[in-house]
Chain A
């Protein structure tokens, strides 16, 4: 089968997008692929909302006294930016869009284990979203996305309760998705698809799902308690009534730290798929990458109090959490080294997904390494709650997770839509994103070390130059996001037809038509090949020289 796009490709006659028509067939679908697109629409909507708030924040911070809004409104802007982006964009993004679409196909199944629960997840997400939007539009929320008590449960005068309820409800969407994924990977694999033949994207989703099911219930109950405290004047977290505000922080961070691994692990999974495809060779250290995903998920549950080094927690606790925080960094480092090594003696193409993957590595490197500064107890005393922290997590969440998400969208766009996006424009956008991002967030590391606190609506004048640089970068970053939104939408109608396997790549998903049938496979596949094994895939039509592969090392 030819793989060059120049050959004539035709859209398949019947596929999941045209199998049935009408709004009911979409709103009542149980097809994981359609549900993925439903999520795509809704997370993009929340991305716009969070992005609008971010734009206003950066414009406001152009001047020391604040250019745009009152302090009260500014406090609402950063809070709502955080809530929208974290709970309604980042956490669902890769799992609910790419994970939903790809997981069953990658393992050779017709759908997830529980398709109706999958649809239910989306509706629960929508209900949670409605509560939060209600909060945003009736006065907004000004507690910070972290909802620290007693500010959120007693003192704040904003629309806290609906927001807290919205996030609580949304948690069940995550839990059900995680449950669905774990069960699917256990019981729905096609014959021959053993655990160690699974694509690394699947390993990443599996690890993420462990965090979904074990961590999310804890924040659910925490927010419930905080909401009840606010509504009924109870005292769990209010010292005036005998409660403990630090208890809230422990309960909150028990989930919210693993939550950051929910946000990054799937993106790492995407990178682990893109690099072998565009270097045309197996990933270096498959079992280490798979194992490191599980290690991150597990160790990630034991580091939460590194957000609390300065609350007055015991020194012994601080020492323990600092040490564990360093340990959790090691598996991430292992991944970066393995990805880089995969490029060695590869056959590297400069296609857009590869640019995103490499951009991810660069930005994740900086973001992850700066975590080492914050895990360091002596340094955290100075850096805690400064712009250094903001720069650190944006490097990982935006430079990492969002780049992984957008890169994954590009990589699997032909599979999802059957069309190719315009390559040149896409490369321009990728580079714009990378440069704009660095200009936005690198100055914030310096701002942080100089002491500029976070969540400040105004700041001392000596911090202005760096703030202006950051805002300038943000405008370039915004362009980098707008471009793909425009040309990806354009390509759905006017893009070139992709064919089943345009890159080509080795996964099962590329054995289906683009776009796939509703039931994915007309015949259940039987898997006999190892992942990313370009050498033993004559069906891809590549020039395998017939030389025996080097020793199969250490899978």
Chain B
């Protein structure tokens, strides 16, 4: 019945949509909190349900998760239930007290957003003067505390040319670097979207960095959007691409309780609300997450229809596909497509 067995591995919790920044590229249009966001006890209950589903990894994100006073309590509960914990933050609120709290949580990773090599670029993207400075201080505190630190960079027209300088900065710092493509979702304006060739050049940059520097010098990876099935470049992601993970191995829970396969998917993909139903019921519902669990060749769109990798690939990241084309299963930002249509011609 299903394309492959769905086993929940990773759940992303948007614990609030409130954010202390106003990033121009924010895919969730974060800023103000949603109406009726979940309480501490509701989040703790959600974590219990996820632990019962044998979920291995929880990521606390937002908005900005650290603006919630109970982020530590939720994190502590995640750890008490034996799940790995990652925190995604813009780093603005990290201070010595937060560092102490993070150390007791023993997180799998603390991911900090860095969008430029200079204050000029980073601050203009983040919409807050001084955010670059605070980000640098946070990274220093995290490294000094020996916490596993990752920098996440969302690339678009505004910071595309900063990558080399960012690499120089991150080299030999003991910080991992994840690079992802900015998609036209939420506040992200179409004018910032990279061309397919520019997208390919980022992939080349990641591949080249991987080949030039050891994991000790700079562990770098492309996010799930850095695919798919290139015949020129090595694999840039962690693991190989076997189709969109939304509803297969990944789940997202919005701050108002909405359950989605992936937080980046539009709201029509909400499968239920944890205020009304159990996560287990949604996860085991044979009619849920149809777009990945019951995917078939006929779902493929555009170029992917005729692609030899179509069945295995499923047309790339579904949220990316929707953001670029308005349809699922046909993500045009695909290394294989660019190689066939542009590079080999």
Asked if A and B bind, the verdict is: no
